[in-house]
Amino acid sequence: MAHVSMVLNGKRVSGTVEDRTLLVAFIRENQGLTGTHVGCDTSQCGACVIHVDGKAVKACTMLAAQADGTEVVTLEGLAKGGTLHPVQAAFREHHGLQCGFCTPGMIMAAVDMIERHGAGNLDEATIRHELEGNICRCTGYQNIVKAIKAASDEMAGLQQAAE
Amino acid sequence: MGVDGIGARAVRKEDKRFITGKGRYTDDMTAQGMGYAAFVRSPHAHAKVVSIDSSAAEDMPGVDAVLTGEQLVGDGIGNLICGWMIHSKDGSPMNMGAWRAMEPEIVRFVGQAVAVVIADTAAQARDAADAVVVEYEELDAIVDAVAAMEDGAPQLHPEAPNNLIYDWEIGDEAAVNAAFEGAAHVTKMEITNNRLAPNPMEPRAALAIYDTAEEHFTLYTTSQNPHVARLVLSAFYAVAPEHKLRVIAPDVGGGFGSKIYIYPEEMVCLWASKRTERPVKWVSDRTEAFLTDAHGRDHNSVAEMALDADNKITGLRVKTVANLGAYMSLFSSSVPTYLYATLLSGQYNIPAIHANVKAVYTNTVPVDAYRGAGRPEATYLLERMMETAAREVGLSPAELRRKNFITEFPHQTPVIMCYDAGDYSATLDAAMAAIDYDGFAARKAEAASRGKLRGIGLSCYIEACGIAPSAAVGSLGAGVGLWESAEVRVNPVGTIEVLTGSHSHGQGHETTFAQLISERFGLDTDAVSIVHGDTDKVQFGMGTYGSRSGAVGMSAIVKALDKVEAKAKKIAAHLMEAAEGDITIEGGELKVAGTDKKLTFTEVALAAYTAHNLPDGMEPGLKEGAFYDPTNFTFPAGTYICEVEVDPETGTTDIISFVASDDFGKIINPMIVEGQVHGGLTQGIGQAMLENAAYDDTGQLLTASYMDYCMPRADDLPAEYRLSTHETLCPGNPLGMKGCGEAGAIGSPPAVINAITDAIGSNDLSMPATPEKVWQLCQTTTKAAAE
Amino acid sequence: MYETNYHRAGSVADAAALLAKADDGKLLSGGQTLLPTMKQRLAAPSDLVDVTKIAELKGICEDGNAISIGAATTHAEVAASDLVKQKIPGLAKLAGGIGDPAVRHMGTIGGSIANNDPAADYPSALVALNATVTTNKRTLSAEDFFTGMFETALDDDEIVTSVSFPAAAKSAYAKYPNPASRYAMAGVFVAQQADGSVRVAVTGAGQDGVFRVPEMESALASNFAPDAVAGISVSADNLLSDIHGSSAYRANLVTVMAKRAVEAAS
């Protein structure tokens, strides 16, 4: 058994799990945060994307034990003080979700994408390419791409206003 | 949210929970003392089950029980059913073999369950399932439907000689023969509609909870139609009487048809919960989903079209072999018959049509309705034929279609359907304008200068939705009526709950349905809740599939709203001492026309519940229910045009533009409708270019994960789908709605293939048009051009 | 996934000791291939030794005229490295095209080459750039390191510590992805050395993993231009064939990708 301790959405949590326990199972079953989903077995669909130490990773392709000592953020931890993250707000505004199942991974991947490229620096083709590891069956991606672009541009505006 | 009525692009009420991780899907549910199920599945496509030794598994840590098909049958659990009776052309009923939820004797497809382990954790259950030793005696397998009918082919079920389930026909064969005798031109094609795996992103799941004291079951499950699930589980599978079984379909992560059916696993969880006296949960993994979720399509057809000297179509002859897999799934029999052949007239005036459909058993997972269900197969066949005929007779594809369009309504086709309204030229014109059809030649030349092959392809589709008048489907063999129910409950403070038998698994009903109420009473959509997906809350409903929630589900709500409005007006008239006919509803208030007298909706609601001052004889309360049974199918139609560029060096096809012009009748929320079209188009493009559920000759599924089954991804698609709508109201329902959920998947595949074949100058292309296939054809055409 | 025992190694020596103690131990680096394989119960190591927290295995540094990349360096780190982008742009591009962003945050160069998936990208870069693989026991040339499909020269208890890539005058990688898995169906890395010599290495297509194409190399040595390789095709005999692409199709892709890599490098 592995004793696992991490900061999850700003709170220190710990638990004892089998060594084979995946990080996604620790988050969903041990910690009861069911916003992170599992949609495939081959690390391709991206429904489980979360941030570990500030980087997007697939929680289904990491052991909970590997995440010991890390800082983890899931979709539940994205909104601050009841205010939606601009990416969350943009997904709603642009109808970037239908059944909602891929949405957690999409939003977490989008936040990471915007951070890596810099707000305001994403174009349509880049976003599509960056979504290679996130599969959606409902939306045909068009509104997801629009939402990410809009959020990226809005975040650039917010940064500018703050400067 | 505000007052958002019909036509408003209202953002979705349900989104908040999904974008904050608070959605509640079946796998998110837990119950005290819950055990996990893991199934023991056949690795063989066809084999006798000789023995099952579970002794080692039973001794493993955390294992509660290992249960087999023999025990299931012994407990009186019924076989899985097919809910639509089809008769062969000789009048005989379809030949149906028994399908048990866990098979004790002969397995007939890879992945079929033979036993289940219940254990304390999912990992322990899986470990133990792997330790169950099943001895099989392998039998020859057959996966190709045409070959399965040949003498000497492996036989699946004793009830179905030559694996033939039915040999069905529709239309006037003699009239068609006569048309071909007098034809000036005949176009003939062999057309394959490739097999697909539906792949909603949420895999199927079930949590069954048995209450030993009440002898009552609760089932959380990934269903598009929880009431139908309860009906079938009770009436046919004998799991429990209806009043002792509550089925809840909470947030469901997509369905596309695949979650209509009541599968073995859900039933086994219920039964196992009673057997083990603990809640039992099962969650499919993706490979299990590929192996056991009903697949879609899989047709082989030969089609012939007769044209006269004026290029008018005079006859259509179609022979189709439909692969239904190893067992008959719930609606499987209806898909290649009444949902397929009845649409073979397309948007065209075709005086004579005859179709013969043979449905066949093979050693593959069952095939059933998948987004479009029969209509994509009909559209693909007809629109490939139209494009090919146009090329053969030297007319432009648009011209040939236009020449044959139906222009007067109602129009009775030779294959049952009576089209009620449409304007096919309008959608064709709009699509051609949107894609700048006239500028194509210049774009093709420009592409050629870069070494690329550019092509353009049309598809003019029609479909039948809103299924359907109950008496009509009953006469065609359906086992259920296909109406819908609704209940509108006005609370004493004027907020409203709408209970609906429709089920939302991505369609946005919580928003669209609320807009109807907002429109009617001028109330904020936040004052309205939509309740669905729970058999304890909603009395009955037929669920969501076949693009029926608008045309049928919302019509039921309208009927209930009419009753609520009438009663509210009566109360208001009584309270304000006015004539009932003078009461109008506006902005959340009931007013007496021509005066300044008014009451808020809340005041009227409160009056209904305090009942201190109601008209004589009126019952207190403000709550009304309605059942709505359609009077006809609805007929969404439109034109899709696809423009592609092919790289002849690699066979890569890029979709440069895709335009869609649809007639969905009345649209409530255009934003949601566009989302439905985007998703449908993407699934259609997936079928045309990427997706294929492939079995090898021994019945092993070669595409059992996303490593091999090619799901459309963001970068496979054009930069933007350009959509437009043209509205002709459906006369058959109160709102004039036709349905929009499936059109994209129905209309798009032929547009893509017509475009690629146009680009490469070869018509011999089957779906999916993989880079290798396209490259091979480019080799041939380049060589031919050089010679 | 079968039950396993997870260990976090603090040093290479520690990792070697843990591996030696295990029944059937395996090194866990990024885990982006190993963990999915274990989830599907196609691999069942008794022990996993996590090497990603070993400081000496991480990082990218200039080493004379070469770039040395620690085995536990992620694809994302290689792709984002200014040093790699400047000295061997083809390598940075290759790393930035492996898997998807989330996979690149975890997957490592050491893990990738030790697995030697015939459809992995890195082997082509190592062979074309004539890289040297350093382990806790020895150094090997890339060509000696890769021995066949999923096979390397590594002993059971041997640990890759770094890979050293000599800088190239020109380098580029072009791949044609499998439409479903997005792994390479044919990936061609072309590298020209300062002396004008050229190496062409192909991944994704060969039954035995990565291979060189001598005809293309000599053609490019005398004329480093896309046209020089456009007419050179490899034999389909030893190429992979599956539902996504026949060996003949893959052979065609090798030529086309070689041409495009040269174009990108020029």
Q: Give residue B1's pLDDT band: very low, low, confident or very high (50, 70, 90).
A: low
Same domain, C92 and C29: no
Q: Quote the mean pLDDT of chain C.
A: 96
Measured in angstroms, the CA of B399 and the nearest CA of chain C are apart by 36
Instruction: Please report the pLDDT score of residue B481 as a whole number.
Output: 86
In a domain, A24, yes or no: yes
| B71 within a domain of the structure (yes/no) | yes
C69 shares its domain with C154? yes
Chains B, C: CB contacts within 8 A come to 46
Domain holding A9: CATH number? 3.10.20.30
Which residues are paired to C133 by β-bridges?
Answer: C140, C163
Evaluate whether residue A29 is within a structural domain. Answer: yes
Is B670 within a domain? yes
Report yes or no: B416 and B170 within 8 Å, Cβ to Cβ: yes
B184 domain-assigned? no
- By DSSP bridging, strand B164-171 and strand B205-211 are unpaired
Whether the CB-CB separation of C171 and C91 falls below 8 Å is answered with yes
- Contact A134/A37 with Cβ under 8 angstroms? no
Q: Are residues B497 and B565 in the same domain?
A: yes
Q: Same structural domain for residues A91 and A139?
A: yes
Select from A49, A60, A61, A46 the least CA-distant residue to A137: A46
Q: Are residues A155 and A115 in the same domain?
A: yes
Q: Is A118 part of a structural domain of the chain?
A: yes
| Cβ <8 Å between B23 and A42 | no
User: A68 and A16, same structural domain?
Assistant: yes
Mean pLDDT of A73-93: 96
- C contacts of A61 (beta carbons < 8 Å): 31-32, 35-36, 103, 106
What are the tens digits of pLDDT across the range B655-712? 999 999 999 999 999 999 999 999 999 999 999 999 999 999 999 999 999 999 999 9
Query: Which of A65, A68, A109 is closest, CB to CB, to C102?
Result: A109
Q: Which pLDDT tens digits describe chain C residue by residue (266 residues)?
A: 999 999 999 999 999 999 999 999 999 999 999 999 999 999 999 999 999 999 999 999 999 999 999 999 999 999 999 999 999 999 999 999 999 999 999 999 999 999 999 999 999 999 999 999 999 999 999 999 999 999 999 998 899 999 999 999 999 999 999 999 999 999 999 999 999 999 999 999 999 999 999 999 999 999 999 999 999 999 999 999 999 999 999 999 999 999 999 999 98
φ, ψ at B730 (rounded to 5°): -75, 120
Can you read off the two tokens belonging to residue B436? 């700048």
In this structure, the answer to whether residues A131 and A92 fall within a common structural domain is: yes
CA distance to partner chain B, nearest, from residue A35 (Å): 4
Q: What is the pLDDT of residues A6-26, one digit of tens each?
A: 999 999 999 999 999 999 999
Strand duo C139-141 + A11-17: pairing: unpaired
Give the mean model confidence (pLDDT) for residues A133-159.
Answer: 97
- B364 plus B444 within the same structural domain: yes
CATH number for the domain harbouring residue B588: 3.30.365.10
Of the candidates C162, C168, C196, C164, which has an alpha carbon nearest to the alpha carbon of residue C87?
A: C168
Indicate yes or no: CB of B717 within 8 angstroms of CB of A142: yes
Q: Do the Cβ atoms of B702 and C243 come within 8 Å?
A: yes
Contact C179 B690 (CB under 8 A): yes
* CATH code, C253: 3.30.390.50
Q: How many domains does chain A have?
A: 2
B221 and B317 together in one domain: no
Distance, in Å, from the CA atom of C186 to the CA atom of C120, rounded to the nearest integer, reads 10
Nearest chain B alpha carbon to A145: B714
The model's pLDDT over B269-328, given as tens digits with 9 standing for 90+, comes to 999 999 999 999 999 999 999 999 999 999 999 999 999 999 999 999 999 999 999 999
Do both B396 and B423 map to the same domain? yes
Residues C24 and C112 in one domain: no
Which pLDDT score is estimated for B781?
80
Stretch B502-523: mean pLDDT: 94
Q: What is the count of structural domains for chain B?
A: 3
Q: What angle do CA B16, B536, B245 make, to 5 degrees?
A: 120
Cβ atoms B179, B352 nearer than 8 A: yes
Q: Which of B221, B250, B282 is the last residue of a domain?
A: B282
The last residue of one of the domains, among A75, A102, A131, is: A75
Gap from B274 CA to chain C (nearest CA, Å): 29
- Give the pLDDT confidence of B188-239 residue by residue, as tens digits: 999 999 999 999 999 999 999 999 999 999 999 999 999 999 999 998 988 9
A90/A61 same-domain check: no
Is residue B10 in some structural domain?
no
Against chain C, the chains showing at least 3 CB pairs within 8 Å are: A, B
C-alpha pair distances (Å), C229 with each of B784, C214, C252, C262: 25, 11, 12, 9
The reply to whether C70 and C20 lie within a common domain is no
DSSP B348: B
Same domain, C43 and C62: no
Question: Does residue A121 lie within any of the structural domains?
Answer: yes
Note the pLDDT of residue B786: 66
Please judge whether C32 and A18 are an interchain contact, meaning their C-beta atoms are less than 8 angstroms apart.
no
> Are residue B251 and residue B273 in the same domain, yes or no?
yes
Residues of B with CB under 8 A from a CB of C: 123, 127, 130, 287, 649-651, 690, 692, 694, 702-703, 706-711, 716, 770-772, 775-776
Q: State the total domains in chain C.
A: 3
What residues make up the domain containing B434? 296-467+632-786
Confidence tier at B787 by pLDDT (50, 70, 90): low
Which amino acid would we find at residue C174?
A
Using the 3D structure, point to which of C125, C149, C166 is the last residue of a domain.
Answer: C166
From the CB of residue B606, how many other CB atoms can be counted at a distance below 10 Å?
18
Percentage of chain B exceeding pLDDT 70: 99
Q: How far away is chain C from the Cα of B23, in angstroms, using its nearest Cα? A: 23
Last residue of a domain, one of A33, A56, A75: A75
Chosen from C38, C42, C49, C106 to mutate, greatest number of chain A CBs within 10 A: C106
**pLDDT score, position B320:** 98
CA distance A51 to chain B (A): 14
Q: Which residue of A has its CA nearest to C106?
A: A57
Q: Which chain B residues have a beta carbon less than 8 Å from that of C256?
A: 649-650
Q: Are residues B637 and B624 in the same domain?
A: no
Same domain, A119 and A143: yes
Are A12 and A59 contained in the same domain?
yes
Last residue of a domain, one of C124, C140, C166: C166
Question: What is the value of ipTM here, to two decimals?
Answer: 0.98
Q: Taking the CB of residue B90, how many other CB atoms lie within 10 A of it?
A: 8
B11 is a domain residue? no
Half-sphere exposure of B664 (CA within 13 A, CB side): 27
Domain that holds residue A121: 86-162
The answer on A120 and A52 residing in a single domain is: no
Residues A69 and A114 in one domain: no
How far apart, in whole angstroms, are the C-alpha atoms of residue C263 and residue C229? 11
What distance in Å separates residue C35's CA from the closest CA in chain A?
6
Q: Give A86 to chain B, closest Cα distance, Å.
A: 11
Q: Does residue C178 share a domain with residue C162?
A: no
Search chain A and give the residue with CA nearest B287. A41
DSSP SS3 for C202: strand
Is C27 within 8 Å of C19 (Cβ atoms)? yes
Q: Do A118 and A91 share a structural domain? A: yes
Mean pLDDT across chain A: 97
Residue of B nearest to C175 (CA): B650
Q: How close A92 comes to chain C (CA, Å)?
A: 24
Evaluate if residue B556 carries a pLDDT over 80: yes
pLDDT tens string B718-728? 999 999 999 99
Report the CATH number at residue A116: 1.10.150.120
Question: What is the tens place of the pLDDT at every residue in C117-140?
Answer: 999 999 999 999 999 999 999 999
User: Are residue C135 and residue C121 in the same domain, yes or no?
Assistant: yes
Distance CA B756, CA B459 (A): 13
Q: Confirm or reject contact between A43 and chain B (CB < 8 A).
A: no
Q: Positive or negative CA dihedral for C26, C27, C30, C33?
A: negative
**Chain B residues lying within 8 Å of A129, measured CB to CB:** 714-715
Domain end: C166, C198, C223, which one? C166
Q: What is the three-state SS of B725-753?
A: ECCCCCCCCCCCECCCCCHHHHHHHHHHH
Say if residue B681 is in the same domain as residue B622: no
Q: Which A residues in the span 82-111 are in contact with B, Cβ-Cβ below 8 Å? A: 84, 88-89, 91-93, 95, 97-104, 107
**Which residue has tokens 């005929």?**
B389
Is residue B152 situated within a structural domain?
no
What CATH number does residue B113 fall under? 3.90.1170.50
Say whether residue C236 is in contact with chain B using an 8 A CB cutoff. Answer: no
Residues of A in contact with B706 (CB under 8 A): 40, 42, 44-45, 135
Pair (A71, A135) in one structural domain: no
Q: Is residue A81 part of a domain?
A: no
Shared-domain flag, residues C141 and C180: no
Give the residue from B188, B157, B203 showing the smallest Cα distance to B25: B203
AA identity, residue B464 = A
- Mean pLDDT rounded to a whole number for chain B: 96
In a domain, A80, yes or no: no
**Does residue B731 share a domain with residue B582?**
no
- Shared-domain flag, residues C124 and C76: yes
Closest CA to B403 of B488, B365, B460, B479: B460
Considering the domain boundaries, does residue B501 fall inside one?
yes
| Segment B571-592 mean pLDDT | 95
CA B413 to chain centre: 24
**Alpha-carbon gap, residue B727 to B736, rounded angstroms:** 9
The pLDDT assigned to A162 comes to 84
Domain of C226 in residue numbering reads as 170-265
C42 touches chain B (CB under 8 A): no
Alpha-carbon span B93 to B86, nearest angstrom: 6
The pLDDT tens digits of the residues spanning B611-665 come to: 999 999 999 999 999 999 999 999 999 999 999 999 999 999 999 999 999 999 9
Q: Are residues B312 and B450 in the same domain?
A: yes
- What confidence score (pLDDT) does residue B782 get? 73
Q: What is the pLDDT of residues B351-380, one digit of tens each?
A: 999 999 999 999 999 999 999 999 999 999
User: Is C180 in contact with B123 (Cβ distance < 8 A)?
Assistant: no
| B611 in the same domain as B516 | yes
Among candidate residues A75, A100, A133, the one where a domain is terminated:
A75
Residues B496 and B572 in one domain: yes
Q: Does residue A20 sit in the same domain as residue A57?
A: yes
Whether the CB-CB separation of B298 and B367 falls below 8 Å is answered with yes
